[in-house]
Amino acid sequence: DAGVIQSPRHEVTEMGQEVTLRCKPISGHDYLFWYRQTMMRGLELLIYFNNNVPIDDSGMPEDRFSAKMPNASFSTLKIQPSEPRDSAVYFCASSLYGGSGNTIYFGEGSWLTVV
């Protein structure tokens, strides 16, 4: 079975440019999560969706970040305009159910470098 699929795997962009990260969750999973990982801050939850509806976006750093889930098989995380401090690995993950007892399945990440 295909896991969580993210694209692009690597992106280098210039400050001020728009960045769009894409995610296809595991089919049948009701929850989708966007995490960001940096050395300094570790793994941070940015936003999560349940049945395509955003539930909690309190982790989104600022208005430059936005996320959408137009259907059950696709989500995007957009940064506009990008800044060097946005450089990080962005992970999309999905799970069948919510709550602490459920396994979260991660994609391989999108490595973003903003210069």
Partner 1 sequence: SQQGEEDPQALSIQEGENATMNCSYKTSINNLQWYRQNSGRGLVHLILIRSNEREKHSGRLRVTLDTSKKSSSLLITASRAADTASYFCATVPSGNTPLVFGKGTRLSVIA
Comparison of 28 and 98: residue with beta carbon closer to partner 1 = 98
Is residue 5 a contact point for partner 1 (CB under 8 A)?
A: no
Ranges of beta strands (E only) in 25-109 are 31-38, 42-50, 53-56, 65-71, 74-79, 88-95, 105-106
Comparison of 81 and 105: residue with beta carbon closer to partner 1 = 105
Kindly identify the residues of this chain, within the stretch 61-90, that bind partner 1 according to CB under 8 A.
none
Q: Structure tokens of 22?
A: 């894409």
Q: Which residues contact 104 (CB under 8 A, 6 or more apart)?
A: 33, 93, 94, 95
- Residue 81 sits at the vertex; the CA angle it makes with 80 and 85, to the nearest 5 degrees, is 110
* Beta carbon of residue 81, minimum distance to partner 1 (angstroms, whole number): 27
Is residue 4 a contact point for partner 1 (CB under 8 A)?
A: yes
Contact pattern from residue 23 through residue 62 relative to partner 1, giving x for each residue in contact according to CB under 8 A and a dash for the rest: --------x-x-x------xx-x--x-------x------
